[in-house]
Amino acid sequence: MATSFRLNGETVIYHGDPRTSLLNVLRDTYRLTGAKAVCEEGFCGACTVHVDGEAVPSCLRPVGLVADCSVTTIEGLAERDAPHALQAAFRKHDVVQCGMCFPGMVMSLSKLLEENPSPSREEVKRGMTGNMCRCTGYERIIDAVMSLQDNAEARP
């Protein structure tokens, strides 16, 4: 059985078992390794991708369920030379450490800012509940997200 879906703007047809997780299909078949397999239980958020505009953990989604959907991964979020405002803010504020959680963090928070361009600090924290980080202690990530509010053109 083949599963057809849009992946970062291109139509792809996956020929394997439709019960395979979207995460494994992205990483093993399409070699898009930006989404990370960290907990594989849907807790950590490191594998977050956009499916039809919604941020979801790709580890819990069988690829068969994204048939005919549009999937965007961290690799497809922004042009190479024009990073997303969040990526630019994280870089500018030097908040990255080991980096494993950040692709998922960017995918989740980019959706949060789309829905709420001027979140409070508490709202950002709540929005990060599904994105864990073991290195940074979070606060400086939140500082970087909040900095976007001072920069109108950086808003997504």
Partner 1 sequence: MSGGYDASTAVMDYPRCDAQDKLAGRTRYTVDRAGPETLKAVLFRSNITAARIVRLNVEAARRAPGVRAIATAADAPGKFGLGIADHVLFAGDVIRHHGEPIAAIAADTMEQAKAAMELIELELDPLPAMLTMEAALAKGAREIHADWKDYEILLEGAKRGGNVAWEATVERGDSDAAFSRDDVTIVEGCYRVGRQSHVPFEPRAVNARFEDGRFNIETSTQVPWTVRSVTARALGIPESHVRVTVPAVGGGFGLKFDCTLEPYAAVLAKMTGRSVSLINSRREEQLTCLCRENAEIRIRSAVTPDGEIVGREATVLMDCGAYGGEQVFLTTMTAHTLGGNYRVGAVKLASRAVYTNTPPNGAFRACNGVYNTFVLERHTDEICREIGLDPIEFRRRNAIGNGDVGATGQVFEGDVLRPMLERMVEKYPYASSVESARDGWKRGRATTIGTWFVFVGPSAATVNLNADGSATLVTSGVEIGSGSMMQSLPQIIASELGIEPDAVIVKSADTDASGRDLGVGGGRQTVSLGAASAAACADVREKVLAVAGELLQAEASRLVLKDGRVEFRDGAGGSVRLTDVIARAEATVGPVSGSGAFTAPGVAAMPGCAAGHFIDAIDIPVFAVHDCELDVEIATGRVVVRNYRVIQDVGRAINPRAVHSQVQGGVVQGLGYALHEEITINDKGFFDQSGFETYRIPLAGDVIPVDLEMYEGAPSIGPLGTKGAGEVPILNVGATIACAVANATGKQVSELPLTPPRVLGLLKDGTEAIRLDHISRNWRENVISK
Binding of partner 1 at residue 87 (CB under 8 A)?
Answer: yes
Q: Residue 102 is which amino acid?
A: F
Q: Residue 145 is which amino acid?
A: V
CB of 41 to partner 1, least distance (A): 6
Binding of partner 1 at residue 5 (CB under 8 A)?
Answer: no
Binding of partner 1 at residue 81 (CB under 8 A)?
Answer: no
DSSP 97: S
C-alpha 18/C-alpha 20 separation (Å) is 5
Q: Which residues inside 16-55 make contact with partner 1, applying CB under 8 A? A: 27-28, 31-41, 43-44, 46
* Residues shown for the chain: 156
From the list 4-12, 60-68, 90-98, 147-155, the region that binds partner 1 by CB under 8 A is: 90-98
Query: Would you call 120 exposed, middle or buried from its count of C-beta atoms within 10 A (0-12, 13-18, 19+)?
Result: exposed
* CA-based radius of gyration for the chain: 15
| CA within 13 Å, CB half, 54 | 8
Site string (103-122) toward partner 1, x via CB under 8 A: x--x----------------
Q: Which is nearer to partner 1, 69 or 128 (CB)?
A: 128
CB of 150 to partner 1, least distance (A): 18
The tokens describing 50, both together, are 């956009």
Q: Which residues bind partner 1 (CB under 8 A)?
A: 27-28, 31-41, 43-44, 46, 73-75, 77-78, 80, 83, 87, 90-92, 94-103, 106, 124-126, 128-129, 131-142
